[in-house]
Amino acid sequence: MAAKTYSDTEVEQRLKEELPTWRLEDGWIRRTYKTQGWKGTLMVINTVGHLAEAAFHHPDITASYAWVEVRLMNHAAKGITDSDFALAKKIEDVVMWQPGKEDGPLQGTPDDPRFAYIKYEKSGG
């Protein structure tokens, strides 16, 4: 049985509610992660690669020195499905995780340019 695909209107509504930093463009849900340079770019690519392989749902990735674009669409279903939303959420949670901003023993990356590797957006996108 083929996975349910969502209309553009449904996709845009779900993105607005669940993944506000992602967008619908040319039949794909997309997110561009800005990094501090090549080290951060490679870390994002490797993170996305691990999550995609674990999920066995593979995005397209385009990268440059200081950014990575992740694109998801279910090729078999020829559209956006729950699998795309689920993987996008997991990628977003892991790539944008900032342990220093939550209670717990992990301090997170120091606020020092020597250790910067990803550009975190302010709350709300």
Main-chain phi, psi angles of 89, to 5 degrees: -60, -45
Which letter, b or e, does each residue of 25-63 get, where b requires 16 or more Cβ atoms within 10 Å of its Cβ?
A: eeebbbbebebeeeebbebbbebbeebbeeeebebeeeb
β-strand pairing of 67-72 with 60-64 = antiparallel
pTM summary value: 0.92
Please tell me the predicted confidence (pLDDT) of residue 93.
Answer: 97
Please tell me the predicted confidence (pLDDT) of residue 1.
Answer: 62
Please tell me the predicted confidence (pLDDT) of residue 3.
Answer: 87
What does the domain layout of the chain look like in residue ranges? 27-96
Question: At 111, is the pLDDT very low, low, confident or very high (cuts 50, 70, 90)?
Answer: confident
Report how far residue 14's alpha carbon sits from residue 124's, in angstroms, rounded to the nearest whole number: 15
Q: Which stretches of the chain are DSSP H helices?
A: 8-18, 38-55, 82-95
Task: Please identify, in words, the CATH class of the domain defined by 27-96.
Answer: alpha beta
Question: Model confidence over 58-97: pLDDT tens digits?
Answer: 999 999 999 999 999 999 999 999 999 999 999 999 999 9
